[in-house]
Chain A
Amino acid sequence: MKIKILGTGCDKCEKLEANVKEVLSTLGIEARVDKVEDLVQIMKYGIMTTPGLVVDEKVVSYGKVLKPKDIAKILENYR
C-alpha cells in the first residue's frame, strides 16, 4: 500500500500524518507513507483544501484531519 499525505506544511497536515502512522502500526499494515508538500503536485490531485490523504494514488479524503478510526475504516478497504 502506498499512502501520501498532501499538505503545504501546516499543523493539520502533521496531525493527519501522525494519525495515519498510528493506525498503520495499530493495524500492523505495511505501507509506505510519503509527504507531498509541493504546491503543483498537490494541486494535480485536484483537491481544494489540505490536508489530503491519498491511498494507492486515489484521493480518499481532503480538507479534514481524519480521526484514527476513520482512517482505519478507509485503510481496511485497501488491504
Chain B
Amino acid sequence: MREKTNLYLLTGFLGAGKTTLLTNILEDLSGEKVGVIMNEFGKVSIDGNIIRKDGIELVEINRGSIFCSCLKISFAQAMMDMADRGLKYLFVESSGLADPSNIGEILNAVKEFKGDVYEYRGAICLVDGVHFMEQINDLDTVERQIKHCHLAVISKVDLINESTLEKIKSKIREINGVVEIQTSVFGKLNYDFLKKDLMKNQWAEGENSINTPENKLKSLTLTFQGQVKKEDLTRFIDKISGNAYRIKGFFNLDDGWNQVDVVNRRIDYKLSDKNETESQLVIISKIGPAIIKNIFDAWNEVIGQEMKLRN
C-alpha cells in the first residue's frame, strides 16, 4: 500500500493570515506533491499559476456558506478526489471546519469509500496577533479553534509589543494547556512541525479523560423568548440528549409553562404555575464544547427561531 497522505487542518479567524501562511508553506514544500482544499467564502484564491508550476493540486469549495452543513458532502468529495492523486501533504484551509468533530466524520466517510488514505496530523490555528485580545472576548469561534488545535501560530508579531505577545500566549495557554505555540512575521514560520507529532498536543478531546483540568463539566444555558410546541421541544431534546448528562429548566410550551427534566434520554414534563419571562434550559455536556454545534444544529433544524446559548 502506498504511503498515507499527511492531512493538516488550518484554522483561524478571518484575516489572521491563513492564506499567507499557506502560501509560504507551499513554497517551502515545492518539490513535494501537495494538495490544498480551501473553503473560505469570498476569498481571493492563491495564484493559480504558482500552484500549477509547483504541481500543487487545489480544490476550492465556495458554493454556499461555510456554516451550512450541506458543505460536508463537498468536503468529503474533495477529499476523495484528492485521495487518488498520491499526495504527500493535504492542507485544508477552513474556518468552517474549526470543529474537529467534523473532520472526524468526514474522514470516516472518506475511509468508507477510499480506504485509510489520510493520516490526520493535526490542526494549526492562526492567531491574529493584532486583534486576538479583542476577538477572544467576543468570539466563541476563536476560543473553539484554539481549544481544538495542536499548534497555535501567532501572526503579525512584528506589529505588537512584547507584553501584548505575552498576554496572548498566556491567554492561549489558559484555553489550551498543551498546544505548541509559535510566532510568525509575514507568514514565515519554522516548518519543523511537519516532522513533529502534533497530535500528542491534543487537548480538547482529553475532556473525557479524568486527568486533565479541562475535565470539569461543560454547562450551557439556552434561553428563548417565545413559545414552542411540546412535540418540537421533544424532537430537539431527543437530538441532543445523547450528548448530555442532564438537561433541565422551564419552558413556555403550547400547553403552558412546563418544568422540563431530562436524565439520559428520558424527558419528563411537568406543568408549572411559574410565569417566567423567558424559557431556560441548562444543559450539562458529556462531550465538552462539541455539544455547542450539536445544540445549534438541532435547534435550527427543529425550531429555527432565535435563541441564545451561553456558558
Contacts and interface: CB of A to CB of B under 8 A. Distances in A.
Contacts of B300: 11
Interface residues of A, number: 17
Interface string A12-43: 11100000000000000000000000011011
Contact of B72 (A39, A47, A48, A51): A39
B112 A9 contact: no
Interface string B90-124: 00000000000000011011001100000000000
A61 interface: no
B77 A10 contact: no
A9 B113 contact: no
Main secondary structure of the interface of B (DSSP, over half): helix
A43 B73 contact: yes
A10 B69 contact: yes
Chain B interface extent, by class: 10 to 19
Interface string B276-299: 000000000000000000000100
Given A39-B105, A39-B109, A49 B74 contact: yes
Interface of A: 7-14, 39-40, 42-43, 47-51
20 contacts: A8-B70, A10-B69, A10-B70, A11-B68, A14-B301, A39-B73, A39-B106, A39-B108, A39-B109, A40-B108, A43-B73, A43-B109, A47-B73, A48-B73, A48-B74, A49-B63, A49-B70, A49-B73, A50-B73, A51-B70
Given A10-B69, A48-B74, 13 more contacts: A7-B70, A9-B301, A10-B70, A13-B70, A14-B301, A40-B109, A42-B73, A43-B77, A43-B112, A47-B73, A49-B74, A50-B70, A50-B73
Interface of B: 63, 68-70, 72-74, 76-77, 105-106, 108-109, 112-113, 297, 300-301
